[in-house]
Amino acid sequence: MKIKPIIEQDINGIWKKYNALTKNIPPLSVSSIPSDAIIFIGINPSLGDDDRKELELRQDKSIDFYDLPSEDSDDIQHYKYFKKFYEINKRLETPIGHLDVLYMRETQQSTVKDLFKTEEGIKFLYEQLLVTRKVIDEIIAKSNPKAFVVNNTLARDFLGRFKNFNKYGNDNHYPEIEKHWINYLFDWDDKLGTYILNGTKIPFFFTSMLTGQRALDNGSFDRLIWHLDYAIKKGEDS
């Protein structure tokens, strides 16, 4: 599924509207999402110092799009973030896709959290998230996703509410606007042992980063793969 026609106009409009908050850096999004895939959801695209300097000087601030690097390309060494996704792809023989809930390029998540300090910053985040909801809705309606893996805590909080949050200890630590950011409702499914999106049978796994200093340990990563396989097969049998 092509992402550009869904978001291009909206995101470019947001960048013009909140130009003072963009730090003169154009937005970025994945270009497409495969069908019948496990979709990984992160918080926002990263940005290296060299890329920052180049983008700040660029006149055209409209959104850029990228393809996931193929596993055998040189890019995979640069984008180490995707390595565990490809391992899951190999072990489960299932296509993988990826998207971020925000389009602003930043390496430090603290930069995102700084936007909570002002009403304009919150609105800048919120309007990006509304576009992301439209993308996820389209993925669910047209691309038959097998499961979603949300590997960032802040992305989880942006996505919505948890029906059994008192029972399972979930909490929201960030300001509410309108109802609750993207405002999905997630129900716990005892048979699958994970959450499903309310009104669907699609499993959502909420986990920590798969790479980096705070990544899942190897045992937890193996359990995640087993659990994904179990949930997907259960869904196919139902």
| pLDDT 10s digits, 7-38 | 999 999 999 999 999 989 999 999 999 999 99
When divided into structural domains, the chain yields a total of 1
Highest mean pLDDT, choosing among 103-112, 124-133, 157-166, 212-221: 124-133
Task: Give me the pLDDT at residue 80, please.
Answer: 76
Average confidence (pLDDT) over 29-50: 93
By the 10 Å C-beta count (0-12 exposed, 13-18 middle, 19+ buried), 160 is classed as: buried
Given phi > 0 = left and psi -120 to 50 = alpha, else beta, which region is 203? beta
pLDDT band at 238 (very low <50, low <70, confident <90, very high): low
pLDDT tens across 63-78, in order?
999 998 776 666 655 5
Angstrom distance (rounded) from CA 217 to CA 214? 9
**Rounded to 5, what percent of the chain is helix, strand, coil?**
45, 15, 40
Task: Give me the pLDDT at residue 236, please.
Answer: 75
pLDDT band at 121 (very low <50, low <70, confident <90, very high): very high
The helix/strand/coil state of 40 is strand
Alpha helices (H) along 160-206: 165-168
Neighbours of 36 (CB within 10 A): 12
Name the pTM for this structure.
0.90
For the CA atoms of 223, 186, 199, 36, the dihedral, rounded to the nearest 10 degrees, stands at -40
Strand partners, 64: 28
Contact between 158 and 101 under an 8 Å Cβ cutoff? The reply is yes
Task: Give me the pLDDT at residue 165, please.
Answer: 43
Q: Report the mean per-residue pLDDT for the chain.
A: 87
Domain span holding position 25: 4-237
Angstrom distance (rounded) from CA 70 to CA 186? 32
Q: Report the CATH number at residue 124.
A: 3.40.470
Contact between 28 and 63 under an 8 Å Cβ cutoff? The reply is yes
pLDDT at 178 over 50: no
Instruction: Return the structure tokens found at 214.
Output: 């705070």
Task: Give me the pLDDT at residue 46, please.
Answer: 87
pLDDT at 225 over 90: yes
pLDDT band at 174 (very low <50, low <70, confident <90, very high): very low
* Percent above pLDDT 70 for the chain: 87
